[in-house]
Amino acid sequence: MATENVPNPDDYEWEFEKRGTVGVWFMKGWQGFADADLEAASDHYRERGRNSDIEATLAVFGDETNLPKETQEYMGEEWSVNGEYTGVDRVGFVSDGVTAMAVKAQVDIPDAEVESFGDLDAALDWARS
């Protein structure tokens, strides 16, 4: 994987890990990232998610995540384009509350299943199926 153009998660308020063929972005405690953090997460998702070792992606929002409507709309637009760009089969969103459902409602990715979950383990099982 070429990493020179992929933002390093260590420099931002979000985290990334790969679980098998599933790329997982943790947006823990996000109260609304600064524009640079949100853009970096989007860039990382797009560039890292398109590598052949990732077949599905999950964005996990923490308990304290509070996304204003404008951010949900931005994520819907941006992640719809990003999800299509990556070519993954499944795109999931995870949260304890309604955040995952709210983001999912904004996302439209042709040729990919999009789902929301309240539990990371259930999301991983779905993403791997």
- Note down the domain range covering 87: 25-128
Q: Examine residue 14 and state whether it is found in any structural domain, yes or no.
A: no
Residue 17 lies in a domain: no
| Residue 127 banded pLDDT, cuts 50, 70, 90 | very high
Give the span between the Cα atoms of 34 and 52, in whole angstroms.
30
Q: What percent of the chain has pLDDT over 90?
A: 54
Query: Is residue 19 included in any domain, yes or no?
Result: no
Is 53 part of a structural domain of the chain? Answer: yes
Any domain includes 5: no
The highest-confidence range among 6-15, 65-74, 88-97, by mean pLDDT, is 88-97
Q: Is the entire prediction scored with pTM above 0.85? A: yes
Specify if 38 maps to a domain: yes
What is the Cα–Cα distance from 29 to 52, expressed in whole angstroms? Answer: 30
Rounded Cα gap, residues 117 and 95, in angstroms: 6
CATH number of the domain where residue 70 is located: 3.40.50
Res. 126: pLDDT tops 80: yes
Query: Into how many domains does the chain fold?
Result: 1
- Residue 64 CB contacts under 8 Å (≥ 6 apart), including other chains: 29, 30, 31
pLDDT confidence of residue 2: 46
Q: What mean pLDDT comes out for the span 71-87?
A: 87
Answer whether residue 4 shows pLDDT above 70. Answer: no
In a domain, 120, yes or no: yes
pLDDT, tens digit (0-9, with 9 covering 90-100), for 11-64: 877 889 999 999 999 987 565 555 677 788 889 999 999 999 999 999 998 877
Residue 104's CB: how many other CB atoms inside 10 A?
A: 20
